[in-house]
């Protein structure tokens, strides 16, 4: 990332906030930290951050509520910082408009990659025309998928699912988001139909469907597609 970005970090754990602030600062970014939800909401307005990193476990207001309040007037990208055991909280946050999440403990290169991806998806004006990663290529205009140069045939639903993930490559999309985007809001919340379609896609595009290299499962949350190299 070459441009300097303004990051608001809402996190009450001093060791994490110092670690993140120091790392982002040494990468040339401007960081402001808030140690409570109320302070975070107020800084989201006054500091005008380009991106917000939000811890869900805050001492005063729950992080989900902080997100809800910020989202009521602001579309700034928000990345959730959360503990490993809180799958349901992450899903709730993602479905409420968080852009992504990162699980503690995390490394700085992982955090920087998440920030870069969220910023790219939030600010790119034109949708990608081509997805390309490793040996997989999707041409969205021609509705053509090639693996190692050979055309891959998907059903209509499989195509929709794969392209939705490819257009959001690098980010996690929750099961419920994908379910309602493809089958509509009244679909049964059972994920079986989604899993069956994903298994079929993997059979067609992954060398070893049990160890996917293009579409990854984030257990209990959703799917994340390998980031587009063609950007």
| Residues in touch with Ca ion (CB under 5 A) | 12-13, 55, 57
Cis peptide preceding 94, ω within 30 of 0: no
Q: How far apart are CA 185 and CA 20, in angstroms?
A: 38
How far from chain centre, in Å, is Cα 104?
A: 15
Cβ proximity to Ca ion, 62 vs 110, nearer residue: 62
Instruction: Please give the structure tokens belonging to residue 105.
Output: 């403990």
Least distance (Å) from Ca ion to the CB of residue 13?
A: 5
Helix, strand, coil percent content, the chain, rounded in steps of 5: 40, 20, 40
Decide whether 66 or 221 has the Cβ nearer to Ca ion: 66
Residue in the shown chain whose Cβ atom is closest to Ca ion: 57
Q: How far is the CB of 63 from Ca ion (least distance, A)?
A: 8
Shortest distance in whole angstroms from residue 79 CB to Ca ion = 15
Report the alpha-carbon distance of residue 79 to residue 94 in Å, rounded.
Answer: 9
Shortest Å distance, C-beta 73 to Ca ion: 24
Judge whether 128 and 167 are in contact, CB under 8 Å: yes
Nearer to Ca ion, 53 or 119 (CB): 53
């Amino acid at each position: 990332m070459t441009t300097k970005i303004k990051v608001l970090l809402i996190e009450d754990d001093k060791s994490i906030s110092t670690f993140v602030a120091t790392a982002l600062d040494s990468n040339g970014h401007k960081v402001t930290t808030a140690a409570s939800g109320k302070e975070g909401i107020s800084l989201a307005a006054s500091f005008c951050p380009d991106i917000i990193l939000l811890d869900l476990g805050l001492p005063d207001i729950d992080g989900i509520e902080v997100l809800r309040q910020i989202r009521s007037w602001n579309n700034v990208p928000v990345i959730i910082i959360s503990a490993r055991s809180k799958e349901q909280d992450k899903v709730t946050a993602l479905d409420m408009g968080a852009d992504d999440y990162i699980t503690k403990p995390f490394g700085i290169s992982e955090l920087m990659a998440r920030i870069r991806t969220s910023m790219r998806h939030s600010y790119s004006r034109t949708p990608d025309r081509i997805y390309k990663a490793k040996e997989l290529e999707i041409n969205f205009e021609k509705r053509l998928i090639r693996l190692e140069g050979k055309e891959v045939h998907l059903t209509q639903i499989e195509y929709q699912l794969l392209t939705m993930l490819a257009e959001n490559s690098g980010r996690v999309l929750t099961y419920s988001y994908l379910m309602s985007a493809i089958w509509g809001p009244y679909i049964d919340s059972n994920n079986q139909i989604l899993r069956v379609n994903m298994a079929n896609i993997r059979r067609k595009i992954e060398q070893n469907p049990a160890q996917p290299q293009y579409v990854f499962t984030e257990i209990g949350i959703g799917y994340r597609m390998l980031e587009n190299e063609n950007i």
